[in-house]
Structure 1
Amino acid sequence: MRVAVLFIDGVGIGRKDPAVNPLAHREHLLSRFQDAAGPPLPDGGRFLPVDTTFGVAGRPQSASNQTAILTGDPAPALLGRHILGYPNAPLRGLMADRSIVKRLAAAGRTSTFANAYPAPYLDALGVPRRPSTSPPEFVVPPESRRKMRPSAAKLAFAAGGVPLRTLDDARAADGLTHDITGAAARAYGLPAPERTPEEAAAIFWHVASGADFTFFEHYLADEAGHAQDLTAALGALDTFDAFTRSVVATRPPGARVLVCSDHGNVEDLSTRGHTLHPVPVLYFGPPSTEVDAFSTVADVGRAVLGWLGAE
């Protein structure tokens, strides 16, 4: 069985109000609303609204909720608070012990991270990476290196001993830049290949063909939400939607695909902050009792473990 998770940062279920919600401008797969029905999903897909708060006061944040997704554990409830940005010491400890990547490896299952990053960036974070034969794209100054922290996804794969892809892999059609098309990386002067969302989807399934579990993360929607930038939000959501539709349309028989977020943000551009809204989880694949029981974002990780026999 093959399981894939497409993660998009900062997409919640808001009102169908084009004045504040870019998802109301389109019929995206993630166009799900509190006060209106969303468009039908292809390929027998299912939509479930899930909680992001875990009953903890305050606004949900990336570090703790991404840790919940990638461990299957209620990280904010375990810590008693939401942790923004990058995992702190307790979350890093939780990830080191409970990463779903580590637990899958212990059960004899393989995992891979489809994202590709500049080698000097991964080296500065201190996470394992694949070999790169190209000259370094840049040099990270010591003062910047001291401030850099790995995201939850990078920690999850490091805990499982899985080396991350570099831009060499992206250029070899064996990895994807976080923005899918490579435009953002090229705008920074990085030697990233140019891809259409459909080409990126084909590369995604090529990457996934060698693993039981494949993870991809996209975070430009969250950045657009913080900036309250409708144009950037529409661009990010359009690209992710085209990519996701192509991933679903070319899904191998028996493969399971989950699309999820960690917290709300971009669905309400009237504020720069995260929202308390539930987030949409989309599922494409064979019938699943696990999906029927989803209630929080942590259930995404638990389902991956259950499907692959690593509960």
Structure 2
Amino acid sequence: MSVIFIFIDGVGLGEDDDTNPFYSNKYESFEMLTNGFFNNSAEAIVNKDHLFKPIDANLGVEGLPQSGTGQTALFTGRNAAKEIGKHFGPFPHSGIKPFLKKESVFHGVKELGKKPYFMNAYPPIFFEHAQKRNRWSCTTLMAKSADLKLNSTEDVLNERALTAEIVQNAWREKLGIDIPKITPTDAANRLLNVVPDYELVLYEYYLTDKAGHNQSIEDAERVLKPLDEFLLQIIKEKRSSDTLVITSDHGNLEDLSTKTHTRNKVPLFILGENGSVFNDVNSLTDVKEKIIQVLTYDI
């Protein structure tokens, strides 16, 4: 039994209007997970093996949620925004880095004697810039701090990791790295092939947040189409004993009328036999504890 954790950056539950790409186009995976309606009017689904509910990303703090504090809250269970008195991002504030370094979901899984895995890979230029500036994202900081390997080109070629855009085209076309293009279905199967070796597998998809900032429906379609196919394959082919967790850190892409993030609630999707563990999740800060609970069989 494993937990598959798909973190999708910058996706909230928005209005049914032309500023919302989930209204302008239909994405089967999201509609399947919400019984047909992916918006701020969608009714919660609370079944034994299928949960959907809107959860809070504002964390009791005024202003627009940001990735640094939102992701720290999601991955550590600590209300990072309240700890420093503001929303902060995109990188983690110095006042909340200790949570990622010591209390992350990766640390929690290892403390159970189990194995976590971070599925994302990074090109050489990422490592050069991050090490030079000592500036790491929430996911890479917590992975490094839990002594997890940050995957590189070799791991992509060995089919043990995925690039940020799922289909591997940006590394080849923009960075000149010789890796093959794959389909979103291929990428999903690659992740599913890794899952049996670990108790937690995390994959981060942040292009949704970038597309939201661009306020472009074309960009939104470009990043949502492969994500949709990727998620569909995971939904259809995951093992029944595995728990699929999908959520976000704040709203953004669902409202292209603004360049900024939003204060909308974000979706929480759970598929799996242990889905009921997440029934009382109401905020980003509740998710980590429930993942650990599933993996301790305390259900």
Is TM more than 0.5 here? yes
Q: Distance in 2 between matches of 1:299 and 1:187?
A: 39
Q: Which SS does the other structure have where 2:74 is aligned? A: helix
Gaps of 5+ in 2: 32-37
TM-score (norm 2): 0.90
Q: Distance in 2 between matches of 1:151 and 1:264?
A: 18
Aligned length: 289
Deviates more, 1:283-292 or 1:258-267: 283-292
Query: What residue is the counterpart of 1:208 in the other structure?
Result: 195
One-letter code of the match for 1:23? F
Q: Once the two structures are superposed, what CA deviation does each residue of 1:63-116 show, in whole Å capped at 9, x if it has no partner?
A: 111111111222212222111110121121121121121122122111001111
Q: Once the two structures are superposed, what CA deviation does each residue of 1:181-221 show, in whole Å capped at 9, x if it has no partner?
A: 01222221233331101100110012222111000001111
Query: What residue is the counterpart of 2:220 in the other structure?
Result: 233
The answer to whether 1:176 aligns with 2:162 is yes
Query: What residue is the counterpart of 1:4 in the other structure?
Result: 4
The answer to whether 1:265 aligns with 2:270 is no
Residues 1:168 and 1:277: Cα distance change in structure 2 (over 3 Å): same
Q: Which SS does the other structure have where 1:253 is aligned? A: coil
| Cα distance, 1:120 vs structure 2 | 4.7
The answer to whether 1:255 aligns with 2:260 is no
Q: Is the 8 A contact 1:177 1:192 kept in 2?
A: no
Q: Distance in 2 between matches of 1:109 and 1:93?
A: 22
Residues 1:36 and 1:160: Cα distance change in structure 2 (over 3 Å): closer
Q: Is the 8 A contact 1:118 1:166 kept in 2?
A: yes
Query: What residue is the counterpart of 1:88 in the other structure?
Result: 93
Query: What residue is the counterpart of 1:197 in the other structure?
Result: 184
Q: Is the 8 A contact 2:28 2:232 kept in 1?
A: no
Q: Once the two structures are superposed, what CA deviation does each residue of 1:19-61 show, in whole Å capped at 9, x if it has no partner?
A: 20001121443352124669x99x9532110000011011100
Q: Which SS does the other structure have where 2:10 is aligned? A: coil
Query: What residue is the counterpart of 1:308 in the other structure?
Result: 295
Query: What residue is the counterpart of 1:140 in the other structure?
Result: none
TM-score (norm 1): 0.87
Q: Is the 8 A contact 1:70 1:100 kept in 2?
A: yes
- Structure 2 matches for 1:150-169, cutoff 5 A? 150-169=136-155
Q: Which SS does the other structure have where 1:233 is aligned? A: helix
Q: Distance in 2 between matches of 1:159 and 1:67?
A: 14
Q: Is the 8 A contact 2:115 2:200 kept in 1?
A: yes
CA RMSD across the alignment: 2.2
2:107 to 98, 102, 109: 102
Q: Distance in 1 between matches of 2:172 and 2:97?
A: 31
Q: Is the 8 A contact 2:67 2:90 kept in 1?
A: yes
Q: Distance in 2 between matches of 1:268 and 1:181?
A: 25
Query: What residue is the counterpart of 2:281 in the other structure?
Result: 294
Q: Is the 8 A contact 1:170 1:193 kept in 2?
A: no
| Cα distance, 1:309 vs structure 2 | 2.4
One-letter code of the match for 2:210? E
One-letter code of the match for 2:211? A
Q: Once the two structures are superposed, what CA deviation does each residue of 1:200-247 show, in whole Å capped at 9, x if it has no partner?
A: 011001222211100000111110110101111011111111101101
Q: Distance in 2 between matches of 1:281 and 1:288?
A: 11
Q: Once the two structures are superposed, what CA deviation does each residue of 1:270-293 show, in whole Å capped at 9, x if it has no partner?
A: 000000000111111014332110
Q: Is the 8 A contact 2:166 2:187 kept in 1?
A: yes
Q: Once the two structures are superposed, what CA deviation does each residue of 1:107-133 show, in whole Å capped at 9, x if it has no partner?
A: 21110011111245235424xxxxxxx
- Sequence identity percentage: 30
